[in-house]
């Protein structure tokens, strides 16, 4: 069970630091055409405080912030118009009517439409994926089902610098069971002076707490450093020692190749507004391995046996949902974990973004991403030394241990100056106090030429 085909470091020719070379990479890259699927914010619109129509200014910004919020696909307005027209023209009948020429299925089946596309991004069977809720809400629902502390096994292992929402969710779940969070949250961090957490260290924590830990929840990609963890190896190792294994894929979904079913992951959750491009606060997704979603009717149709979860009407099988007899028969698979009637507006923007992913595949996207981050790293480090460089790349240099993001730790006092210069140049990146710039060239819509331009501005800002 392996995570990826091992990738060697890219070697660039002597002329690679030129604008012309960057343009040649774009010309040779088949995925460059995918950029046309998106609306790129213009520099003029970024500089104004007035609501403006997109695309009126010819000069596009450089948008390297897909790790916080992805760009809007052009398909979004088309899909939204179809949904609004459906609602306006047939009202409640939209729940059960498939309309010709619409990109959307009837509302009752729209979450299934999303799941069928989304499962390909996370390497799962369609029945193992559900489109629902938000990331933290889904984590709570999953933990309510999978975190079953006992007298002896009650701890949860997690990343030392987990995103606050994950930290809060785990802390409150432990407290919900009447346990002390400080005693039962085990934070796994890097060695002193390091930023990368080695797989061996994570495995050592699993060994250390195999007797008293119930569950491990880790990020697929660490949001701050951009480190991609070895999901299959950690999953297998933890399960062999009796731990339930969950993954937060907020920064991995739509970013790297994932094979949740093959890797035998117990559960996972993700948002869709970062590399997924479904819109701010968009509907999220979750994964439940097929072995946990089975429904057993061996005791009779009226006595289904299934994994306990917090149930809701929309998790009930559609064949009996409208009998309204209060006899819950869950949908087999992840669909049985659904709670409420999902927002069709949210599902519409999600399906629009998924229509773009349906035109490509994660293998090709990942290969372009590896090339882009390698080129970014090469340009950043070129003609500098550890002594002269005013920044440190804290993202792993191994292409197999990172996604589309490089995190640049600046020397103290430089962040605001550099961020202001980037903003003035129409370059959008994410900054994290006190000293980190997170740079994320997204293979769906960013180019090698933009990488080259970014480095030119970034180094100029450092020298100013």
Does 135 appear as a known binding residue? yes
- Residue 396 marked ligand-binding: no
Burial class (CB in 10 A: 0-12, 13-18, 19+), 364: middle
Rounded CA separation 138/25 (Å): 40
Helix (H, G, I), strand (E, B) or coil at 230: coil
SS (H, E, C) 33-44: HHHHHEECCEHH
**Burial class of 15 by CB neighbour count within 10 A (0 to 12, 13 to 18, 19+):** exposed
Distance CA 59, CA 372 (A): 22
Q: Which residue has the tokens 């197999």?
A: 400
- Count Cα neighbours of 117 within 13 Å in the Cβ-side half-sphere: 22
15: Cβ–Cβ under 8 A, 6 or more apart, which residues? 21
Is 165 annotated as contributing to ligand binding?
Answer: yes
* 67 has binding-site annotation: no
Q: Among 209, 274, 216, which residue's Cα sits nearest to residue 244? A: 216
Does 273 show up as a binding residue in the annotation? Answer: yes
Tokens of 6: 């091992």
- Specify whether the CB–CB gap between 404 and 372 falls below 8 A: yes
Task: Please tell me whether 168 is known to bind a ligand.
Answer: no
267 has binding-site annotation: no
Q: Residue 424 CB: number of other CB atoms within 10 A?
A: 12
- Helix (H) or strand (E) segment spanning residue 146: helix 135-146
Q: Does 232 count as an annotated binding residue?
A: no
Cβ–Cβ < 8 Å for 22, 374:
no
d(CA 51, CA 153): 54
For residues 54 and 71, the answer to whether their CB atoms sit within 8 Å is: no
Q: Per the annotation, does 424 bind a ligand?
A: no
Residue in 356, 344, 441, 360 with CA at minimum distance from that of residue 73: 356
Residue 74 CB neighbour total at 10 angstroms: 15
- Which structure tokens are listed for 257? 């190749």
Strand partners, 439: 406
Please answer whether residues 260 and 285 qualify as being in contact, where contact means their C-beta atoms are separated by less than 8 angstroms. no
Binding residues, by number, are 135-136, 163-166, 248, 251, 273, 313, 341
- Binding residues for pyridoxal 5'-phosphate, by number, are 135-136, 163-166, 248, 251, 273, 313, 341
């Amino acid at each position: 069970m392996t995570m990826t085909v091992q990738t060697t470091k890219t070697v660039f020719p002597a002329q690679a630091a030129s604008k012309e070379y960057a343009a040649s990479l774009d010309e040779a890259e088949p995925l460059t055409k995918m950029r046309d699927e998106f609306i790129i914010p213009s520099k003029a619109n970024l500089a104004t405080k007035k609501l403006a129509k997109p695309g009126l200014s010819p000069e596009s910004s450089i948008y390297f912030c897909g790790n916080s919020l992805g760009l809007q696909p052009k398909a979004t307005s088309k899909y939204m118009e179809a949904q609004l027209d459906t609602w306006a023209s047939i009202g409640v009948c939209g729940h059960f009517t498939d309309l010709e020429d619409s990109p959307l299925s009837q509302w009752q089946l729209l979450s299934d439409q999303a799941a069928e596309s989304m499962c390909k991004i996370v390497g799962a069977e369609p029945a193992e994926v559900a489109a629902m809720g938000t990331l933290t809400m889904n984590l709570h629902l999953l933990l309510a089902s999978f975190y079953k502390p006992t007298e002896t096994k009650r701890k949860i292992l997690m990343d030392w610098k987990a995103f606050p929402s994950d930290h809060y969710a785990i802390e409150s779940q432990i407290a919900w069971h009447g346990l002390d969070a400080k005693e039962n949250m085990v934070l796994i961090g890097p060695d002193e002076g390091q930023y990368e957490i080695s797989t061996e260290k994570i495995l050592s924590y699993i060994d250390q707490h195999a007797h008293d830990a119930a569950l491990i929840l880790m990020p697929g990609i660490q949001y701050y450093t951009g480190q991609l963890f070895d999901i299959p190896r950690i999953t297998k190792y933890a399960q062999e020692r009796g731990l339930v294994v969950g993954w937060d894929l907020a920064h991995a979904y739509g970013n790297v190749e994932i094979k949740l079913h093959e890797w035998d992951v117990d559960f996972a959750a993700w948002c869709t507004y970062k590399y997924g491009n479904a819109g701010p606060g968009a509907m999220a997704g979750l994964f439940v391995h097929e072995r946990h979603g089975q429904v057993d009717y061996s005791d009779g149709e009226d006595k289904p046996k299934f994994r306990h979860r917090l149930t809701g009407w929309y998790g009930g099988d559609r064949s009996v949902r409208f009998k309204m007899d209060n006899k819950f028969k869950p949908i087999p698979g992840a669909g049985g974990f659904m709670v409420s009637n999902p927002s069709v507006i949210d599902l519409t923007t999600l399906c629009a973004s998924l229509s773009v992913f349906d035109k490509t595949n994660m293998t090709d996207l990942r290969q372009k991403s590896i090339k882009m981050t390698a080129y970014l790293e090469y340009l950043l480090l070129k003609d500098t030394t550890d002594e002269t460089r005013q920044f440190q790349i804290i993202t792993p240099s191994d292409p197999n241990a990172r996604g589309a993001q490089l995190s640049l730790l600046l020397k103290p006092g430089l962040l605001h100056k550099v961020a202001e210069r980037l903003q003035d140049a129409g370059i959008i990146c994410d900054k994290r106090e006190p000293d980190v710039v997170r740079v994320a060239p997204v293979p769906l819509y960013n180019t090698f030429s933009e990488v080259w331009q970014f480095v030119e501005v970034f180094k100029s800002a450092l020298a100013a």
